[in-house]
Amino acid sequence: MSRCAFDIQPIGRFEGSNTSIRRPKEIACFSYDDQHQFRLDDSSLRYYYPPHLPVDLNQGFETFQKLDDTGDDHLDALLETIIAHEKETGKKCEVDIITWRGMMTKILTAPFENMNGFEMNATFFQGTIFIEENNAYKNMQKQMQRNQRMPPGMPPQDVMAYWGYKFETLSVLQQPWDPTPRTEIEDRENEIVNNHSQYCSVVRTGMGNVKMILGGEVDAVWDCKPERKEDAIHWVELKTSAEIRNDRDMLKFERKLLKFWAQSFLLGVPKIIVGFRTPQGILTSLEEIETATIPNQVKKGRNTWDGNVCINFAAKFLEWLKGVIHEEGTWRIRKHEKSSKIEVFKVEDSGNGDILSQSFIAWRSHA
């Protein structure tokens, strides 16, 4: 079978109680420093500390040190971290799927994200499917977003994107608040915003009978990372959103919660801090939302999406994918905009394309 498709619709097939899910558990982590250099440690871990309100998120836009993310990093950093983990434990990570959290977010939200398309590359190696983003498609999508006309009176898109990073800079500390001097906490407003540094958590998780390792960025920790490995980490996801002024805004926010929830749920991030802002980018209030309560909140609201459907759909799709991608070669996983099916087809009959790094193949070939 070299070309096939999985129907998303009708989504009624995925209603009902949840497929079993494994609580995501961090097995390793890595960081990018403020030059975006890879580091096999938690040096870019940040600690949440609420910002002073109100505050102007536009401040410092001219000095923003923005990461150029047009290049193709494949799964390199994730695979480097897995190599180190396997060396440390002396055990191979035997899972069905290894990918970035962002790819799994696209799959999890697909039943309710009809408008958006995606493209991923996949390969099969030593019993595991590796999935990466198709970089050319990602860049094309970003370019199309940039070309979209903004309604009159709205700030430019790059300014609006800056607000999110500014909010993060205003809301985190480099160490826990206790030893952090007051002056440093207050000085966050003058800090140059730089989105090169990241802390990425690598978790083991699963849905139905699909075991996965996911890597993804986490914004901050609420308190500290626990000493004991088995204890849950109190991660915090930071998000900005427009103030809710009427029913239409409420509906928009509820739709946005789908992405917030999916992204956080997959890595086991228990809390989302939403910073509400005016249309011109003044941060006016904060709300703490428990990730686990979001699906029920939506059900009681406008009922625009259903978390159970997302989980059941993703589990079924991934089980199906395991049956499709089980031999050498590279594959494309694609959903067109407005399409209600995910297509999977073979692109190369042999090899692993550029999806796997040479160092990973070398390690696994000799391990």
* 171 forms part of the interface with ligand A3P (CB under 6 A): no
Measuring CA to CA, which residue among 123, 145, 76, 143 is closest to residue 360? Answer: 76
Residue with CB nearest ligand A3P? 164
Provide the 3-class DSSP secondary structure of residue 71.
coil
How is residue 30 annotated by DSSP? E
Nearer to ligand A3P by Cβ, of 165 and 305: the residue is 165
* 217 forms part of the interface with Mg ion (CB under 5 A): yes
* 239 forms part of the interface with ligand A3P (CB under 6 A): yes
Candidates 112, 167, 276, 317: give the one binding ligand A3P (CB under 6 A): 167
Candidates 240, 291, 330, 352: give the one binding ligand A3P (CB under 6 A): 240
Candidates 96, 132, 133, 219: give the one binding Mg ion (CB under 5 A): 219
**How far is Cα 316 from Cα 366, in angstroms, rounded to an integer?**
34
Residue 180's Cβ-count burial label (10 Å; 0-12, 13-18, 19+) is middle
Q: At which residue do the structure tokens 């002024």 appear?
A: 245
Written as six digits, the tokens of 98 are 């290894």
* 238 forms part of the interface with Mg ion (CB under 5 A): yes
Rounded alpha-carbon distances, angstroms, from residue 244 to 53, 54, 279, 296: 17, 16, 10, 19
The residue range among 28-36, 231-239, 278-286, 305-313 that interacts with Mg ion, by the rule CB under 5 A, is 231-239
* 132 forms part of the interface with ligand A3P (CB under 6 A): no
Q: How many CB atoms lie within 10 A of CB 360?
A: 23
* 281 forms part of the interface with ligand A3P (CB under 6 A): no
Q: At which residue do the structure tokens 């494994």 appear?
A: 22
Nearer to ligand A3P by Cβ, of 281 and 295: the residue is 281
* 276 forms part of the interface with ligand A3P (CB under 6 A): no
**How far is Cα 219 from Cα 96, in angstroms, rounded to an integer?**
27
The residue range among 157-165, 221-229, 265-273, 299-307 that interacts with ligand A3P, by the rule CB under 6 A, is 157-165
Question: For Mg ion, what does the binding mask look like between residues 239 and 258, x meaning CB under 5 A?
Answer: --------------------
Residues in contact with Mg ion by CB under 5 A are 217, 219, 238
